Amino acid sequence: MGLFLSNLHIQRTSSVSLDDLKSFLAEDMTSKGYTQLDAPDDAEVRVAIYAPKNSSWITVASDCFNFNDNNDTVAAAEPISKRFCTSVIAMACMDSDYAFMHLINTTQKIDGWINSGSPYEGMKLPRRTSVTPWKIVVSNFDEFKQKIKENSPFAEDVLFSTAEFIGMDKEQCGLEADRTEDFVSDSSKLTLLYFSLLEGTKKELPKLRIDCYDGMQCRTDVNSVVFVNNKGGRSKGVAIKFLGDYIENDEVIIYDVTFESDYGSDKRKCVPITLEKRLDENGNYILWWEDRSFQIPPAVNPNLPYSRRDRLEFEKQFGVRFFVKGNSEKFRDVEVHIIPLENPQDGYVYWTVKKRPQW
Q: Domain 200-351 is of which CATH architecture?
A: Sandwich (2.60)
Q: Are strands 276-279 and 285-296 parallel, antiparallel or unpaired?
A: antiparallel
Cut 0.75: pTM above it = no
- Domain residues of the chain, as ranges? 4-196, 200-351
What CA–CA distance (Å, rounded) separates 275 from 290? 9
What pLDDT was estimated at residue 64? Answer: 83
> What confidence score (pLDDT) does residue 128 get?
76
Q: Are 56 and 218 in contact (CB under 8 A)?
A: no
Residue 201's pLDDT band (boundaries 50, 70, 90)? very low
pLDDT for residue 183: 81
pLDDT of residue 126: 67
Per the model's pLDDT, the better-predicted residue between 19 and 152 turns out to be: 19
Residue 81 sits at φ, ψ, to 5 deg, of -60, -40
pLDDT tens for 87-131 read: 999 999 987 888 999 999 999 999 999 988 887 665 666 677 889
Question: How far apart (Å, rounded) are the C-alpha atoms in residues 212 and 226?
Answer: 6
Average pLDDT over residues 219-227: 93
Average confidence (pLDDT) over 64-72 = 86
- Residue 181 neighbours by CB under 8 Å, 6+ apart: 48, 187, 190, 192
pLDDT score of 50: 96
Residue 90's pLDDT is 97
Q: What is the pLDDT of residue 202?
A: 46
- Residue-wise pLDDT for 125-167, tens only, equals 667 788 999 999 999 999 999 999 888 889 999 999 999 999 9
